[in-house]
Structure 1
């Protein structure tokens, strides 16, 4: 007996628009895609796009929001039962890289396109990024409190170093649509970061 799928919270027309938009992003950058092209690919009228979204950029941010929500939910599940801040950070680094590796369109959008737009930083999608940042900062502070992580390095700098290493490691893949070797990249980043921040004998 085939289990029933959970009904989507989105209307069918909205789902078609989002799917068409994602498909077009596989081959084009955001600025090259028109709303007419999205409507044609989705098999809907152009006016329907404006029923559900303010404009093309709002569509992009809503798609990113859904992506971030799914990613954060998975991260929260993955961290359950993991003891120790360093182990949690190791899992986060791997999961972040794995997400970029398996969602190259989103990697390109996040790393290369949306950050040039000031309104992105006021979007609901970016609020989820801030939530993720706070989660990581909390884990780092947990590590400092428990003696795993050195207390003479500002937690915010450690977080910056983690994100910077991940993003630079993924940048060429995002630009040139190349595959990423998640495991060795994660291992190298973990060695680099943890060699500098972990108290000896505590890792």
Structure 2
């Protein structure tokens, strides 16, 4: 029987099979397993064998398509966040009001927290130096669309224009990250979106142009 290291070495030496060749149901099982296992253990302790067992797929399948644990992790998390990004893009377009666009975007992000708590926990454990290994964080189209909304808000005089755009962006994303993570850690019974209106008021006051 081949050891895990032997299988890994063999697969590293040859090109990975494209994910498009994998059955969607199999990829879905692997995604759920990655989210579950990495949320429950320190990433350094997680093994490919654990993930294979949780997903009920062979170890050879994981190595065939992903090659190693890190590639598996970053690829799956990019898929998860890619779906969120697509929803965000939909809400950043087609609506004239800056406030409404940001409101809908926040709702989508908090809905992700409610529906993917394991993914939020996993992402919170990724170090700042490695977060960019998840491809979606380098998605210029998504980031550009978001910054365009914020810039539009500054030009219209509704968002704070005394700070650079990236400050508004960081405040928005930091608000989601901190509240989402703590909501899960506290094991709150109600979904975070149950208090959405009050939360959006807090965020809007933080980034909107102060009354003079």
Normalising by structure 2, we get a TM-score of 0.74
The Cα offsets for residues 86-136 of structure 1, whole Å up to 9 and x where unpaired, read as: 2111111121111111110111112x211x1633324424324x6544332
Quick one: structure 1 residues 52 and 133, their matched pair in 2 at CA, closer, same or farther if it must change by over 3 Å? same
Superposed, which structure 2 residues align to 1:1-203 within 5 Å?
9-12=20-23, 14-25=27-38, 27-110=40-123, 112-114=124-126, 116=127, 118-128=129-139, 131-179=141-189, 180-184=191-195, 186-199=196-209
Gaps of at least 5 residues in structure 1 are 1-7
What is the DSSP-based 3-state SS (H/G/I as helix, E as strand, rest coil) of the residue aligned with 2:132?
Answer: helix
The count of residues paired between Structure 1 and Structure 2 equals: 190
Q: Which moved more, 1:56-65 or 1:12-21?
A: 12-21
Give the aligned partner of residue 10 of structure 2.
Answer: none
User: What CA distance in whole angstroms lies between the structure 1 residues aligned with 2:55 and 2:209?
Assistant: 54
Q: Which moved more, 1:82-91 or 1:27-36?
A: 27-36
Quick one: structure 1 residues 188 and 164, their matched pair in 2 at CA, closer, same or farther if it must change by over 3 Å? farther
RMSD value over aligned CA atoms?
Answer: 2.8
Give the aligned partner of residue 5 of structure 1.
Answer: none
Alpha-carbon contact 1:153-1:197 (below 8 Å) kept: no
Quick one: structure 1 residues 50 and 176, their matched pair in 2 at CA, closer, same or farther if it must change by over 3 Å? farther
What is the DSSP-based 3-state SS (H/G/I as helix, E as strand, rest coil) of the residue aligned with 2:125?
Answer: helix
